[in-house]
């Protein structure tokens, strides 16, 4: 079979482009430590107000210095707000939603998860830089979606 030279060039160019795009995806996923959701835990979204953890979501310190933060997202706020955690300590977020799908993104970090009604999204991050961070909802959740912001305060923890 004879393939025209120009056709061959374009076929290889298209293949090379695909390889570059795939490479960029894997490179950026690696650089930003992007991971697929791996925690499966269910919770009744209609009974959060009587749930032992999510009725009063808060930040709790463990004996080893790490922190667990329970968060309930609902139209159009995060509870608790503000969230205060120490720097340089592993912080485990446990996030759920009381109504619809929300996002939970700590701007300027790779802390980013969906808040899904019925499920607990969990991930652990360590914040190196003390300061104030903005938490945004990055899933469209209703008319005031753009107002759904929270505050994260990272205090100077132990070095
Ligand atoms: Cu919550 Cu958008």
**DSSP secondary structure string for all residues of the chain:** ----HHHHHHHHHHHHHHHHHHHHHHHHHHHTT--------B--GGGGGG-TTTSS--EEE-TTS-EEEEEEEETTEEESSSEEEETTSEEEEEEEESSS-EEEEETTSS-EEEE-BTB-EEEEEE--S-EEEEEE--S--STTGGG-EEEEEEE----
Are the beta carbons of 139 and 114 closer than 8 angstroms? Answer: yes
CA of 105 to the centre of ligand 1 (A): 11
Atom number in ligand 1 closest to CA 101: 1
Distance CA 129, CA 140 (A): 29
Distance from residue 154's CA to the centre of ligand 1 (Å): 23
> Taking the CA of residue 10 as centre, how many other CA atoms within 13 Å lie in the half-sphere pointing to its CB?
4
Local confidence pLDDT in tens for the 159 residues of the chain? 788 999 999 999 999 999 999 999 999 988 888 887 788 899 999 999 999 999 999 999 999 989 999 999 999 999 999 999 999 999 999 999 999 999 999 999 999 999 999 999 999 999 999 999 999 999 999 999 999 999 999 999 765
Q: What is the pLDDT of residue 158?
A: 61
Q: Whose CA is nearest to atom 1 of ligand 1?
A: 102
Closest residue by Cα to residue 152 from 62, 60, 74, 59: 59
Strands 149-155 and 83-86: parallel
Look at the alpha carbons of 52, 150, 139, 112 in this order and tell me if their dihedral is positive or negative. negative
* Cα-to-centroid distance, 11 and ligand 1 (Å): 43
Q: Looking at residue 31, what is its pLDDT?
A: 87
136 Cα to the center of ligand 1, angstroms: 8
- pLDDT, residue 32, reads 82
Ligand 1 atom with the smallest distance to the CA of 138 is 2
List ligand 1's pocket residues with C-beta within 6 A. 76, 102, 137, 139-141, 145, 148
């Amino acid at each position: 079979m004879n393939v025209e030279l120009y056709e061959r060039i374009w076929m290889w160019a298209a293949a090379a482009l695909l390889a570059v795009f795939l490479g960029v995806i894997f490179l950026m996923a690696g650089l930003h430590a992007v991971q697929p959701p791996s925690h499966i835990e269910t919770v009744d979204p209609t009974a959060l107000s009587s749930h032992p953890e999510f009725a009063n979501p808060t930040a709790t310190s463990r004996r080893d210095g790490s922190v667990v933060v329970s968060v309930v997202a609902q139209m159009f706020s995060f509870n608790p707000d503000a969230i205060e955690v120490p720097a340089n300590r592993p912080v485990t977020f446990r996030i759920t939603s009381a109504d619809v799908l929300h996002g939970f993104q700590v701007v300027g970090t790779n802390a980013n998860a969906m808040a899904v009604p019925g499920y607990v999204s969990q991930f652990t991050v360590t914040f190196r830089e003390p300061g104030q961070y903005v938490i945004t909802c990055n899933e469209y959740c209703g008319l005031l979606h753009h107002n759904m912001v929270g505050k994260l305060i990272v205090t100077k923890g132990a070095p």
